[in-house]
């Protein structure tokens, strides 16, 4: 096992897949010589050359369109969209074209492509460079949506995403890029659609995604000191969604809290709450509670952003209140 940062793990995952499959190519703004604005693709241009690591103009529609056309015709492109917020300037390509191509053509067209996004807040970038877009993507039939929370998961889930025959939206959490973790030295390929229990507990279940997994784990540590044993589940993938792992935990704890970075309305946690409410109602001893960002655009200043995105303390307070 080697210790890598989350951003190094992105490059490691890409290198692992590009080395084994000549059809994997990269396209995006500043991903080559600059190594990516988040430094997540450092070294790949040197290793694989400009034929496979292609810098582009600032033209998100051109980037995503090129990835789609390449995927239709035999390649497995990995496109970087830089800030996830830029999805809004190529929404048509992602939502109207890529997501629907297989269905509208009655299965004639398959799109094995990955779009990488720098997702989420925590870096004081303000409302147009800090959004969590997983909910926008989850709402569209035809897309798979993956959010890794650890360096090992970055490698394993990125490999699984690249090998998958469907379009996979791979959301890298900007706040996690500097974090470190152990990554297997040998080839590492994970499975899409499998949630992971990060901490076992018997009193409450906390389900979280990406950066919020770490907030939930911090909260669980604090709650343990008070005698509250929280089980923490890293959802990892919204589509496909691993309902089974969540339902099994709810059957044990009877109390479910979602921890979401997104604004309140239509967050992924609302969908999970709906499913658990329908399918596990009699396992529950209390209402499902959602811990989210308030329904506001993300503010820029340290004190404001910190007050907006759920913190470990926010989670602890919500759980205590939920247990009263």
Partner 1 sequence: MSETRAEAGGALGVVDAPDTGGAALDPAARLALYRAMLRVRYFENEAYVLFLQNLVKGTSHLAIGEEAVAAGVAAALRPDDYVFATYRGHAHAILRGASMTAVLGELLGRQNGLMAGKGGSMHLTSAEHNFMGSYAIVGAHLPIANGAAWSARYRGTDQVAVAFFGDGATNIGAFHEALNLAAVWKLPVLFVCENNLYMEYTPIAEVTAVAHPAADRASAYGLAPVLVDGNDADAVYAAAAGAVARARAGEAPTLVEALTYRHGGHSRADPGKYRPEEEVQTWLARDPIPRYRARLEELGVDPGTLDAIEAGARAEVDEAREAAKASPLADPASVERDVFADGGARWRS
| Active-site residue list | 129
Please say which residue, 115 or 230, places its beta carbon nearer to partner 1: 115
Residue from 9, 12, 137, 192 touching partner 1 (CB under 8 A): that is: 192
Residue from 12, 18, 67, 316 touching partner 1 (CB under 8 A): that is: 67
CB distance 240 to 192 below 8 Å: yes
Interface with partner 1, residue 68, by CB under 8 A: yes
SS3 45: helix
Interface with partner 1, residue 96, by CB under 8 A: yes
Interface with partner 1, residue 69, by CB under 8 A: yes
Segment contacting partner 1 by CB under 8 A, of 125-133, 163-171, 182-190, 210-218: 163-171
Please say which residue, 218 or 271, places its beta carbon nearer to partner 1: 271
Reported as half-sphere exposure (CB side, CA atoms, 13 A), residue 130 has a value of: 22
Interface with partner 1, residue 101, by CB under 8 A: yes
d(CA 145, CA 246): 17
Interface with partner 1, residue 73, by CB under 8 A: yes
Please say which residue, 273 or 312, places its beta carbon nearer to partner 1: 273
Give whole-number Cα distances, 286 to 113, 199, 221, 324, in Å: 41, 21, 22, 10
Element (H, E) at 303: helix 302-308
Interface with partner 1, residue 309, by CB under 8 A: no
Please say which residue, 51 or 321, places its beta carbon nearer to partner 1: 51
Residue from 43, 65, 122, 299 touching partner 1 (CB under 8 A): that is: 65
Cis amide linkage into residue 105, ω under 30° from 0? no
Q: How many CB atoms lie within 10 A of CB 260?
A: 26
SS3 47: helix
Residue from 4, 11, 25, 233 touching partner 1 (CB under 8 A): that is: 25
Question: The tokens 């897949």 sit on which residue?
Answer: 17
Residue from 15, 37, 39, 102 touching partner 1 (CB under 8 A): that is: 102
Q: Give residues 223-262 in contact with partner 1 (rule: CB under 8 A).
A: 237, 239-244
Interface with partner 1, residue 33, by CB under 8 A: no
d(CA 64, CA 91): 10
Interface with partner 1, residue 278, by CB under 8 A: no
Residue from 26, 45, 64, 223 touching partner 1 (CB under 8 A): that is: 64
Interface with partner 1, residue 71, by CB under 8 A: yes
The distance in angstroms from the start CA to the end CA of the chain is 43
Please say which residue, 109 or 323, places its beta carbon nearer to partner 1: 109
Q: Give residues 135-154 in contact with partner 1 (rule: CB under 8 A).
A: 141-142, 144
Please say which residue, 204 or 238, places its beta carbon nearer to partner 1: 238
SS3 187: coil
d(CA 286, CA 268): 20
Interface with partner 1, residue 112, by CB under 8 A: yes
d(CA 159, CA 317): 37
d(CA 277, CA 318): 19
Give whole-number Cα distances, 153 to 181, 182, 191, in Å: 10, 10, 10
Q: Which residues bind partner 1 (CB under 8 A)?
A: 25, 51, 56-57, 59-75, 77, 92-93, 96-97, 101-110, 112, 141-142, 144, 164-166, 192-194, 237, 239-244
């Amino acid at each position: 096992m080697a210790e890598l940062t989350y951003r190094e793990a992105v490059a490691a995952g890409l290198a692992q897949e590009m080395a084994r499959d000549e059809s994997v190519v990269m396209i995006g703004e500043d991903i080559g010589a600059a190594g990516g604005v988040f430094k997540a693709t450092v070294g790949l241009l040197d290793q694989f050359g400009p034929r496979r690591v292609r810098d582009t103009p600032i033209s998100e529609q051109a980037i995503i369109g090129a990835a789609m056309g390449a995927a239709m015709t035999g390649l497995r492109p990995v496109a970087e969209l830089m800030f996830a917020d830029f999805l809004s300037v190529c929404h048509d390509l992602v939502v109207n074209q890529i997501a629907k191509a297989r269905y509208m053509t009655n299965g004639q067209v398959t799109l094995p492509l990955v779009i990488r996004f720098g997702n989420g807040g925590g870096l004081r970038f303000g409302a147009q460079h800090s959004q969590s877009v997983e909910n926008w993507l989850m709402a569209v039939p035809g897309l798979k949506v993956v959010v890794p929370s650890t360096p090992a998961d970055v490698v394993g889930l990125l490999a699984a995403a690249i090998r998958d025959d469907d379009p996979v939206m791979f959301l890298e959490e900007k706040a996690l890029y500097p974090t470190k973790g152990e990554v297997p030295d040998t080839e590492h390929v994970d499975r899409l659609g499998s949630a992971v229990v990060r901490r076992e507990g018997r009193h409450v279940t906390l389900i979280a995604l990406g950066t919020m997994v770490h907030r939930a784990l911090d909260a669980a540590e604090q709650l343990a000191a008070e005698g509250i044993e929280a089980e923490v589940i890293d959802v990892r993938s919204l589509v496909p969604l691993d309902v089974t792992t969540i339902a099994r935990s709810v059957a044990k704890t009877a109390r479910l809290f979602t921890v979401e970075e997104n604004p309140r309305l239509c967050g992924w946690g609302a969908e999970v709450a709906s499913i658990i409410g329908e399918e596990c109602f009699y396992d529950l001893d209390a209402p499902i509670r959602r811990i989210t960002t308030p329904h506001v655009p993300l503010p820029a200043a340290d004190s404001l952003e910190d007050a907006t995105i759920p913190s470990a303390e926010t989670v602890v307070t919500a759980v205590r209140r939920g247990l009263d």
